[in-house]
Amino acid sequence: MTSKKQLRRSFILLILALGLALTLSACQRASQQIDTGASSGIAMTLAVNPDPATVGQAQVTVTINDASGQPVSGAAVAIKGDMSHAGMMPVLADATEDGAGVYRTDLEWTMAGDW
Q: Which of 70-74, 80-84, 95-99 has the lowest mean pLDDT?
A: 80-84
Dump pLDDT digits (tens) for 14-30. 565 555 454 444 444 44
Residues 105 and 52 in one domain: yes
Number of structural domains in the chain: 2
Domain span holding position 6? 1-30
Residues 24 and 54 in one domain: no
Residues 56 and 10 in one domain: no
Question: Does residue 114 lie in a domain region?
Answer: no
Quote the mean pLDDT of the chain. Answer: 74
Q: How far is residue 112 from each of residues 29, 80, 109, measured CA to CA in Å?
A: 12, 16, 7
76 vs 80: CA distance, rounded Å: 13
Letter string b/e over residues 30-42, b meaning 16 or more CB atoms within 10 A of that residue's CB: eeeeeeeeeeeee
